[in-house]
Amino acid sequence: MRCFYSFIIIFFFSLSLYAIKNLVKEGDEFYNNRNISKNPVKSKEIISESIKYYKEALKNNPGNDILLYKLTKAINFKYNYLPLKFSKIEKIKTYKSLLSKLNKAYKNNKNSKYLNYSLALIWGRYGELIGVLKAAKTGIAGKIKKYGERLYKLDKKFEDGIAGVILGRLHYKTPSIPFILSWPDMNKSEKYLRESAKLFPNNYWAKFYLADTLYNNEKIEEAKKYYKEILNISPDKNNYFEILAVKNSCKKRVKELNLFK
């Protein structure tokens, strides 16, 4: 009888793993096809399916760091790369829900590069929504720094040098507030971003952010070189909306700076 119950338990456990594997496979397929259409509405439908399958898979394995990382990337693509308007309320609700899942998993897996990446990224997105000054005063900037630095120590080459990009942009965007926030440093911003841009020449966000930092550091001609490079890249079929997003951000920035008249 005991053997029978053991068999039943193993059977249902194996069935559960098989179901999760299939859900992840479906989620991956939709994610990999996110740029198959240049129509952002169609792409939104595709990435939403990916998010749905990842969430379903997480129900039976909520602490899986790789699954949470996949979900993070899908959500980030939907709300930050597609040229569509989403309400602030919807984005905040989504980010808070994801942060709750990530924080629970992180308690037992602090050295996961997948979780440190995801937490640094989503806290950053949340901070963008509520405003830089508020994010700095409420400790969100400190959270981004904590997870970004841990990721940098764990694997600075992960996701094309994303740790350096996050930290470099953080030092650029975060205001120095006397007696509250003294760590923001433009020299560190330049150091991190130069490293990521050098290690991964196709990381155009690293180069765009580096251009902003260089401009701020009064290295105007070098900044203009990177801005021009971003403006001249052509979106490829695998990263169409990601590259379109960085190009559009660059166009807006050079217009604000009144460059290339």
Q: What is the pLDDT of residues 127-170, one digit of tens each?
A: 999 998 899 889 999 999 999 999 999 999 999 999 999 999 99
- pLDDT interval class at 21 (50, 70, 90): confident
Please state, in angstroms and rounded to a whole number, the distance separating the CA atoms of residues 12 and 100.
28
In a domain, 116, yes or no: no
In a domain, 56, yes or no: yes
The answer to which of 7-21, 105-119, 196-210, 222-236 has the lowest mean pLDDT is 7-21
Whether 65 and 49 have beta carbons less than 8 Å apart is answered as no
- Listed residue (69, 67, 68, 26) closest to 48, CA to CA: 26
Per-residue tokens: 231: 């403006």
In a domain, 33, yes or no: yes
Look at the alpha carbons of 26, 27, 28, 31 in this order and tell me if their dihedral is positive or negative: positive
Kindly tell me if the per-residue pLDDT of 13 is higher than 60.
no
Q: How many CB atoms lie within 10 A of CB 66?
A: 12
pLDDT at residue 19, rounded to an integer: 62
Average pLDDT over residues 77-81: 98
174-229 residue pLDDT tens: 998 887 789 999 999 999 999 999 999 999 999 999 999 999 999 999 999 999 99
Q: How many CB atoms lie within 10 A of CB 1?
A: 5
Which residue range(s) make up the domain with 98? 19-109
Per-residue tokens: 233: 């890249």
pLDDT at residue 180, rounded to an integer: 77
In a domain, 215, yes or no: no
The conformation of residue 176, written as its DSSP 8-state character, comes to: P
Please state, in angstroms and rounded to a whole number, the distance separating the CA atoms of residues 199 and 215.
21
Q: Which residue's structure tokens are 């150091």? A: 191
Please state, in angstroms and rounded to a whole number, the distance separating the CA atoms of residues 194 and 167.
12
Domain count, the chain: 1
3-class DSSP state for residue 177? Answer: strand
- Listed residue (138, 137, 98) closest to 120, CA to CA: 98
In a domain, 239, yes or no: no
In a domain, 209, yes or no: no
Kindly tell me if the per-residue pLDDT of 250 is higher than 70.
yes
In degrees and rounded to multiples of 5, residue 53 shows phi and psi of -70, -40
Average pLDDT over residues 17-31: 85
Please state, in angstroms and rounded to a whole number, the distance separating the CA atoms of residues 6 and 138.
51
pLDDT at residue 1, rounded to an integer: 52
3-class DSSP state for residue 8? Answer: helix
Kindly tell me if the per-residue pLDDT of 43 is higher than 70.
yes
Kindly tell me if the per-residue pLDDT of 57 is higher than 60.
yes
pLDDT at residue 72, rounded to an integer: 98
pLDDT at residue 115, rounded to an integer: 98
Kindly tell me if the per-residue pLDDT of 108 is higher than 60.
yes
In a domain, 84, yes or no: yes
Q: How many CB atoms lie within 10 A of CB 17?
A: 12
In a domain, 32, yes or no: yes
Average pLDDT over residues 73-100: 98
Provide the mean pLDDT of the chain.
92
Instruction: Count, in order, helices (H) and strands (E) of the chain.
Output: 12, 0
Q: What one-character-per-residue DSSP string does 48-89 give?
A: HHHHHHHHHHHTT-TT-HHHHHHHHHHHHHHHHTSS----HH
Kindly tell me if the per-residue pLDDT of 12 is higher than 80.
no
Please state, in angstroms and rounded to a whole number, the distance separating the CA atoms of residues 161 and 146.
16
pLDDT at residue 3, rounded to an integer: 54
